Structures are given as C-alpha cells and as structure tokens.
Amino acid sequence: MSQDSDLKVTKVDFLKSQNSVQHHTDAYNTPNLVVRRGQPFLLQLTLSRELRAADKLSLHFSIGERPMEPTGTLMSLNPRSSRNVSGWQIAIVKSNGTECTLSVTSAPNAAVGIYGLMVKTGPNVYKPEKNAVYLLFNPWCEGDIVFLSNEAERKEYVLNDTGYIYVGSSFDIHGKPWNFGQFEESILDACMYLLDKSKLKMSSRRDPVVVSRAMSALVNANDDNGVVLGNWSGKYENGTSPMAWIGSVAILQQYYKTKKPVSFGQCWVFSGVLTTVMRCLGIPARSVSNFNSAHDTDENLRVDVYLNEKGEKLKWMSSDSVWNFHVWNDVWMKRRDLPSGFDGWQAIDATPQEQSQGIFQCGPCPLKAVKDGDVYLPYDSKFVYAEVNADRVYWRVTDENGRKKYTKLGVESQSIGAKISTKAVGQNRREDITWQYKFPEGSSEERASMRRAVSYLQPSEMTPRARFAAVPMANQSDDGKDTTQNEVVPKSGVQVEITNEKPLCPGNPIEVAIIVKSTMAGSWTVDITSSCQLQSYTGKVHANLGYIKQTVKVEGQSEVRVPLKIMPEAYMKELATVDDEEHVHVTAIAEIQGTDEKLTKEVSLSFEYPPIQVQMPETAKVNKDFTCAFIFKNKLNVPLDNCKLMVEGLGIFKMATFDEGDIQPGRIIKSEVICTPTRVGEKKIVARLTSNQVKDISVEKAIMVTH
C-alpha cells in the first residue's frame, strides 16, 4: 500500500468563535473550547488528502483518569456508523478536498468537566494542541435537567456576572453590589478543580442535584479545605474582613492559585461564591436573602429569646438564634430523584451552620417542599423550613431566691422568614420571593403546611438532616405545639411600635421612640421596659447601650411616645472595636397593669453613611483607555480611621486597593484608576470603602462599552 493513501489529520480547528457564540460561552476567558451539553458544535479537520469511503475516521472524547466506554467516560465516535455511543452523536457536515467539517453533539446528560480529544485515522492518532474541551450544563437544552425555558431568566441566572446581595434588616434592606465574575480568568479552571476535588464519580457529575450539593460543601473550608474560611469573631487581622470583598473573583483566583482556603467569609460571601460556581458550570443560580432567619438547632420550630429585667437579650442563654438576614442560594433543576411536582428552584447553602450526613453542606431542597411542609424530602428540608417558619418565643429571666424564674412574655409567629429577597430578572432592583417559600402568614394554607411539617419533625432530638423519613410522627397536639402557634391579640387593644426619629449616623445620638397605642375605649396603665443593644447581624450582642423603664397611661384611641436617647460616646468606641457591620437593636416590653397581657417588640436599625461618588464617561470603546475617579467626603462628625478603598470592574480593570489612612470630618479623598475595557456590553464598576468605624460603604456604576 502506498504511503500517500495513508490518511492523516494535520490540524483540528475548534472553530471557537463560532461555537462559543452558539453555546453562550463566548465570555469565558480561556483559550480552549467551552461548549454546553446536548447541543451540536462544529470541528474542522484538515487531512493529508481527500476523505474516501473506505477510510476509517473516529473521534475519541475522554474524561477522568481511566476513561472506558462502558462507564461512559470514553466516547469513540465514528461519523459513518449509526451506532450511537451513550447518547453522543456525530455527523459529517461537509467534506471539501482536504477539509472536513464534523458536527458533534454530546449527550444532554453527559458528565460535566474537561474532555480530551484525539482523532484516529486507521493506525494514526492525532492529538491537537489545546485538545481540552470544557463541557458544561445547558439551560438552553430541553433534554438537560437544568433546562430553563425563559431567555430573560437564562440571561440573569446563568450569564449575568454582576448583581446584588441583599443585607441589613427587614426594617432597612440594602443591596450590596457583588461581582460574580464567572467568566474571568481562571474561574472556570477553579470550578473544574472543585469538581475534581469533590471526588464525585463521573456518573454523578451528570446530575446537577449531586453536583450542587457537593459544591455547597466545597465552597466552605470546614471539611475539605474548601474555598472560604468562615469567621464571625469580629477579628480579621490575618485575612480579609468579610465586609471588604467586592465579589467572588479575587477569592476564587487566590484559592485556585494556592489551593488553600481564603480568609474570611460570612454568609453573603459563601452565597456570592456559590452563585459564581453554579453559573460558571451552567446551573441557573441566584443569591437569596432571608430576613429574620431562624437558626433552629434542635428542629422544634421554635427559637427561644431570653431577656433580663431591663429587656436586654441575654447572650449566653440560647443555642438557637435569629439572624437579621441570612444569605443562601437557589438553583434551578428538575428533581428526577423525587416524586413529581418538586422541579424548579431548590435551596442550597454553603454557609457552615449544621452538618448534614456528617458534612457541612445543605440542599438541594425544593422550595415547593418548604412551602407545602413536606419536610421529609431530601435534602435538609427541615432545616430550611425552620429558617423561614419558626416561631419566636420570648422569656423573661429573673432571679428569685437564687433560682432562675422564666416568665413567658409572648410568641411571635409571623416575624421569622420575612421579605425573602433576590435581584430581579434584568433589573437592578430587589424582588420579593417570600411567596415562593411560604403561603401568606396566617392563611389557612400556611397553617395546614405548618401542621404537616410538625407531623414529620422528630420530637426534640437531633436526627441526621438528610434522612428520608416518609412516615409522619403520631399526632402531637398534646405537646402544646399547636397552642403556641397562634399569636395572642391583646384584649385591651394596646399596641407597641418602635420608630427612629432621625436617621442613624455614626457620631450622632441614637434617638428612637417607643410608641404605646390604644385602639379601643378604656384606660390602661402600661409598664414599659426598653433596651438598646449593639449587635451583629447574626444576633450576637456586642454591647448594652442603655435602657429605660417607664409607666405610661393610655386612654381611648390615643398614643404616648416614650423617647430613648443614646449619646455617641456610649457606642462609638464599641463600633471601632469590632470589624463587623453593627446594627442597633431595640427591644420593648409592655406589661398592662391589671391584666396578664405582655407585649414584646424588637427592631434592628442600620447606620447611614455618606456616599462614594464615581466620575467616568457614560460610554467607552474596547481597548481604549479612560479614567475613572472615586470621590468620598466624610460628612460624619467623627474621623474614619484606617480607611481602605477597594475597586473592581469586570472586563475593565483588575481589583485594586487604595490605603486612604484616616479621613477627618469634612475631608475629601479622590482616587483614580486607568481603565481598559476588554469586552463589549454594559459593564459595572464597583467600589467599597471600609474603616474602623464604618465597615461598608459601597457604590456601583455602569458604563456601556462598544466597538
């Protein structure tokens, strides 16, 4: 046989620009081809001669350490045989002289990861340069279980690389700009590294349920040297304060480079990084904030709050807690592992709170299971259910003859799980998605869901959260659970409210008012106890700032205002001693004389800060420099010590940090960055200022980049 008849491949063109536009992967910053499963992509082969009918030609795609056909980790695709290998397909689209274009379609349930490609022509094997092909989940493909039919939602939940994470308190919600940055340099490789690190079997990498659960464990560092190390101590000297991060990019890049956990994170950081990882792998994801989030350690759907005589929360009494907000994630997928009806959004959570199957991981848990009270379904639905549905029970603890006496002050059944929030699709505003997690408070559906959930909960003993216990407990109405569910409406018609008279600015007095209202005829004497505490968003008390005790009289339909004023010297020192964003927490107890009625009310207020101004053009051109200036004036009447300004613009400039030192009252600082846009479209620039006194002033501004 003559040499010239021996067919060889001399080149493979991955047609990257054409394929990546079709696959919505053109934004990934990588030299390799990135495609989504279940969707055709083209390869162009250059051959040593024209392809003949008798020639043997096959493409070999392999993944993992020991690729084999029976395990679906090696695909030998022959364009001339109709044999379909594990759902993959190949066809010759056109053959013209020495050029041959092939169309390859991976299976819509193929394992996600990095595939190597080799081309065989008879005895010859050709391994192209950059032969790694990245295969991702595909929300555009109906056969993929992460399929999402709405294009605007796919743009938001898969392709949007910036967004907001909602923080603060239910009385005062603000959006923290966050750069997810799933397309930035080495982020895709970091996610592929996490997939390998998860030690999932290749067959498990087909399933977004298993992959998202594994990633909820790997984004925290608790069990497996994962990405982010949690720290709620208020002391962050040997790392970055959780308040200071602008987004996930610097975190994932550092992790991929060092392979060591990055210091430090709290819930919004874990959630932001998990959104990045999920979107990067092609699973639709969103960061979700739950306000007044219960952390119910013993699964009794009750969080006990203990107060002393001054109405101050006792720090040492309870392992249960209520966080002002807690941020987790929802991911979109079908649940073929469950009975029908539980497809759609699933909650997952990377913040290490409680172990599940022996590891700090949580979810995916169907939102529908939470809404309907089907808390026997995997994974961790009891825990998520309690986060949004527990009751808050208030107790007063007094000392009587050396023994502690507990007086029940009341039950709040409607405050936990409020204003559940995520960024709206295609808009820079908050969307309230509470209705996706629960029926309206007090509605008959909500009560039925609660009864159903309670019937599945094990009485007061911890059980593994991922157990699939499909047998409801015997009816437990005798344990008083149902009786505490209903909030008591006072017969006297007396109500209590707490308002702040003026915005809270560091360096100014804190002025709040306790308002006692009477809504019915009659005259009542009310004993008011109110306290003011400085606490973190996790409910941890840092300082008692002051309290009042007063007796007031209300008659008919009237109201009385009781002022509570805290001078700046009582709290400014405390603000500078912790590195956390502090909230002012006010609790009021009203006891109505001559009755056994007791009312409790609490609010969490946030400080307000002067803004950062951003000066830059409205539009810019690719690869043409422009200047962006950040200007900040300290309008507070206290100096801000040890100020740092962090700025980042995805596709415009890398993250930069400016040390601004101490900024005296009235002083203006200005920092400039030279920007070079590398991608077209609307891009956002984010800046964040931190100091000893003020932990987080952030701003973002958009610019349109054109060719």
Looking at the annotation, which residues are catalytic?
267, 326, 349
Please tell me whether 555 is known to bind a ligand: no
Please tell me whether 446 is known to bind a ligand: yes
d(CA 389, CA 196): 37
d(CA 27, CA 40): 19
Please tell me whether 391 is known to bind a ligand: yes
3-state secondary structure of 633: strand
Sheet containing strand 494-500, edge to edge, reads 494-500, 510-518, 559-566
Task: List all residues 6 or more positions away from 340 whose beta carbon is below 8 Å from its beta carbon.
Answer: none
CB atoms near residue 1 (< 10 Å): 5
3-state secondary structure of 246: coil
3-state secondary structure of 573: helix
Residue type, 12: V
DSSP string, 454-469: HHHSPSSS---TT---
Residues in the chain: 707
d(CA 239, CA 261): 11
Query: Contact at 8 Å (CB) between 165 and 287?
Result: yes
d(CA 433, CA 418): 10
d(CA 513, CA 548): 11
Q: E strands of 15-73, at which residues?
A: 33-36, 40-47, 58-62
3-state secondary structure of 576: helix
CA 24 vs CA 39, 410, 438, 564: distances in Å: 11, 54, 34, 57
3-state secondary structure 139-203: CCCCCCCCCCCCHHHHHHHHHCCEEEEEEEECCEEEEEEEECCCCCCCHHHHHHHHHHHCCCCHH
For residue 700, what are the β-bridge partners? Answer: 686
Query: Contact at 8 Å (CB) between 19 and 44?
Result: no
d(CA 51, CA 56): 9
**Between the CA atoms of 367, 368, 372 and 378, what dihedral angle is there, to the nearest 10 degrees?**
-70
CA 183 vs CA 68, 187, 190, 377, 703: distances in Å: 31, 7, 11, 34, 18
d(CA 192, CA 189): 5
d(CA 282, CA 634): 43
Q: What share of the chain is helix, strand, coil (3-state, %, to 5)?
A: 15, 40, 40
CB atoms near residue 490 (< 10 Å): 18
Closest CA to 474 of 454, 504, 493, 450: 454
Which ranges of 336-479 would DSSP assign to H, the alpha helix? 367-372, 381-389, 434-437, 444-456
Please tell me whether 660 is known to bind a ligand: no
Task: List all residues 6 or more positions away from 65 whose beta carbon is below 8 Å from its beta carbon.
Answer: none
Annotated binding site for Ca(2+): 389, 391, 441, 446
Annotated binding site: 389, 391, 441, 446
